[in-house]
Amino acid sequence: MRTLPETQSQFRDALIQSDADAVAALRRLLVGGIDPQRRLSIHQRNYQKSLIEALLVKFPATGWLMGSAFVRQAAERFVCERPPTAPCIAEYGAEFPAFLSQELGSERAPYLRDFAELEWCVGQVSIALDRPPVTAEQFSEIDPNMLPNTFLTLQPGLHFLEARWPVDELMTLYLTETAPDRFELPSSEVRIEVRGARGQFYLSRLDAAEFTFRKSIAGGHSIGDAAEFAINSSADFDPGQALAAMIAAQFITGINRDRE
């Protein structure tokens, strides 16, 4: 007799992968009605359709760039090969930009992955909710000697993207509906900060040092380590000014003595 986890695993394979062996193994469990296996096929179609539509909703700008047919076909393959691994559908699709860049036809847009990753960041920050920021007065209470070993928590609607192409320019064209008849995108490394909440977002370019500092803090590094990484990018980097700018922008929501 199969255990519940075994039955659930078989049902998953039958539903997600349309695995013929898994479907056959489930036949004795599919009861009720004239054709219970036909009802399973309805669930299979609904599962695939719902995930495909979820991806298309998350990447409309990518569809504008590459054509809706290209993105839909890629989405159909993606949902079969990369099923969700978390219960929250909002988290599904983070791997889609890399998947798109491997699809036949992606070679006509070498900036496709960077652009799709930017769109993913935009989607994530635009549904975020702002948290109460830490004030300058709260920072003034910290012993300056302890500051380098302090860790910070940042707003959830804050992402950092290092791209090989100026894809923020493409995103601006999409959002403003001002695409010219002909547009050339030269290869150029850019560092983009994406900030958003409650359906709104902003794109900003940062220099190498400031980008490194902010991204390092967001990645869980201490202020001291983040400053050291940034100084390696530019000897003129001023950690004090950079930290003050983050406080003024209300990016910081928590001060921690230990890494979270």
* pLDDT digits 0-9 by tens, 23-64: 555 555 555 555 556 666 666 777 788 899 999 999 999 999
Q: Residue ranges of the domains in the chain?
A: 129-260
Q: Which CATH number fits domain 129-260: 3.10.450, 3.30.160, 3.40.50, 3.90.930?
A: 3.90.930
What's the CA gap between 102 and 95, in Å, rounded? 12
pLDDT tier at 15 (50, 70, 90 boundaries)? low
Average pLDDT value over all residues in the chain: 87
pLDDT tier at 86 (50, 70, 90 boundaries)? confident
In this prediction the pTM is 0.85
Report the 10 Å Cβ neighbour count for 8. 11
The yes-or-no verdict on residue 112 having pLDDT over 80 is yes
Name the most confidently modeled range: 17-21, 24-28, 73-77.
Answer: 73-77
pLDDT tier at 6 (50, 70, 90 boundaries)? low
Helix (H, G, I), strand (E, B) or coil at 121: helix
pLDDT tier at 94 (50, 70, 90 boundaries)? very high
Helix (H, G, I), strand (E, B) or coil at 203: strand
Can you give the pLDDT at residue 8? 63
Q: Say which residue, 58 or 5, is predicted with more confidence.
A: 58
What's the CA gap between 154 and 162, in Å, rounded? 18
Can you give the pLDDT at residue 33? 53
Question: Hey, what's the torsion of the CAs at 154, 191, 102, 64, to 10 degrees?
Answer: 90
The yes-or-no verdict on residue 16 having pLDDT over 70 is no
Record the tokens describing residue 209, joined without a space.
């040092």
Can you give the pLDDT at residue 49? 87
Can you give the pLDDT at residue 257? 85
What is the mean pLDDT of the segment spanning 160-184?
Answer: 89
What is the mean pLDDT of the segment spanning 132-136?
Answer: 95
The percent of residues in the chain predicted with pLDDT above 90, rounded, is 66
User: Residues 202-227: pLDDT tens digits?
Assistant: 999 999 999 999 999 999 999 999 99
